[in-house]
Amino acid sequence: MIPCIDSADQTPTATMHSAGRPVCAILTRCFTVVFEEFPVALLAQPVVLKSNLVMLFEHLAGVPWSLFLDTATATHTNARFDMVFYEPVRTYQLSGDTITVGSAVDSAADSTVDNKHDQQRMATCATYPASQWQPLLREDVASLPSYTGPAHLPFQGGLAGAFGYDFGRQLEQLNAQADADIDLPELAVALYHKALIFDKQQQQLYLLAPESQWQQEAALWQGLAERPKQPQPEQSFKLLQPWQSNLTAADYAHKFAQVMQHLRQGDCYQINLAQRFSSCYEGSEWDAYLRLRAHNQGPFSAFMQLETGAILSLSPERFIALDTEGNIETKPIKGTRPRHSNATLDQQAAAELQQASKDRAENVMIVDLLRNDLSRVCDPGSVSVPALFKIESFPAVHHLVSTVHGKLSADHDMLDIIAATFPGGSITGAPKISAMNIIDKLEPHRRSFYCGSMGYISQHGAADTSIMIRTLVCANQQIYCWAGGGLVMDSECAAEYQETFDKVGHILPILAETAETTEPEL
């Protein structure tokens, strides 16, 4: 029986882990029974299945805490591994002042292969002050069993999930003016020791599972692979009304003028302004993701089923990657041009973007912001910019991308990097805190998971995360999609407004079918 306590009004006292790391005494008491039940070791081995990860995930779609990190057929340099995470042993949901920790209750021990995954449930173990998010996550990762398997696999047991944009309120004192109308947590992360990992370079699928359960898990997936799940007609995704924006063209122009005033006053030198599209829908969120996946090739795409909603991300942007040697990489995007069906015009658009002084200025502002953020957790003098103003092309747009590297200090980890850099500067503006406060004043609604981060943190030190642009959020049969851009003094209102539509040109129309989005005239 998992012990359950409510400790939201308790401040955990610090004890010392055997490795010298501070841990939470209350956590130790709460989770002792659970950790004693953890397997001795995790094992990853090749497995041959007569199916691909997309088809295999069909069996998990709709099951809370199922997560697919998907390179979405992209041939991008960062698109090597696809990963499916399932049956977490711990979940973490942060909302406001509280973080709720859930522990797995597997009621399907004697169930059949067809419904095993559908029967897992999460039982609440404890609630804590939101300020305890770092010790909670850090201690649970440290308590995972040892790993046996190929050393090159990026995930060897650990955390995976999503940090919403509004999680930034846990890190900085921010305004609270925008309407928080989407009933989802600010953080939804889970601790996993079961995953399917496909190495596109090797063309090899691996199964990660507790060593004592590995053969059983392999047999389960063999059975599922041989019986593909057939889509049901009633699960077909459908919008029930046309997309509606929370900003009219006139609204956008008015807020654009307010941004310009802040820039002239010196409050900021770049501010990201977004509009939000929404509609009501019926059917499967996974079906919607598959439609979008077919038209987008974001190397950091993802689908995550939440307890009361879903996240559908087609992101092209890396936030933070960390390897086991402490090498950090971030790749901010700043600068966009629409693609053209005419090859000559398309090449001209890419060339013009690469030389555009305005876009270069925006890009280097964010590069400088990220250099500053990384310097908080990196060895002195280790932060560098090996690539500046590179063009990366995707189905809908060309992007201007730069790369920033750093060497993580020995006394820091990935959770410290998140605390130092979140949310990514490419989707806030600069200076970051001032820009975020202005965003909260100008945008009518909070951003939820849009512009947050999705990814994994492995127990052996590796991590990779995205910036959740080109991302949709589903909750209470409502679907939301955002698009924005960085505004500077020489921005033009009409061009910036149009750019927001360019960025979702392979998203909104794909789901709209007969209900088309209207682009009002300025």
Residues recognised as catalytic = 317, 334
Cα separation, 233 vs 63, whole angstroms? 19
Indicate the pairing of strand 90-95 with strand 270-282: unpaired
Indicate the pairing of strand 98-106 with strand 146-148: unpaired
Backbone angles phi, psi at 343, to 5 degrees: -60, -40
Reading the block at residue 388, the tokens are 């500046």
Cα separation, 179 vs 234, whole angstroms? 33
* Burial class of residue 459 in the structure, from the number of CB atoms within 10 Å of its CB (0-12 exposed, 13-18 middle, 19+ buried): buried
Backbone angles phi, psi at 483, to 5 degrees: -155, 135
Type of residue found at 74: A
Cα 494 to Cα 253, 363, 506, distances in angstroms: 8, 20, 20
Q: Dihedral of CA 394/309/52/291: which sign?
A: negative
> Three-class SS of residue 114?
coil
Number of alpha carbons in the 13 Å side-chain half-sphere of residue 483: 21
Reading the block at residue 495, the tokens are 């061009």
Number of Cβ within 10 Å of residue 495's Cβ equals 12
Task: Yes or no: say if 56 and 84 are a contact pair by the CB < 8 Å rule.
Answer: yes
Q: Dihedral of CA 442/311/470/156: which sign?
A: positive
Number of Cβ within 10 Å of residue 484's Cβ equals 22
Give helix 25-36 / helix 133-142 axis angle, nearest 10°.
30
Task: Yes or no: say if 472 and 187 are a contact pair by the CB < 8 Å rule.
Answer: no
H helix intervals, 294-431: 343-355, 357-375, 414-421
Type of residue found at 335: G
Count of residues in the chain: 522
Number of alpha carbons in the 13 Å side-chain half-sphere of residue 439: 31
Reading the block at residue 207, the tokens are 């199964």
Number of Cβ within 10 Å of residue 120's Cβ equals 19
Number of alpha carbons in the 13 Å side-chain half-sphere of residue 94: 27
Helix (H) or strand (E) holding 161: strand 158-163
SS (H, E, C) 296-312: CCCCEEEEEECCCEEEE
Cα separation, 378 vs 384, whole angstroms? 11
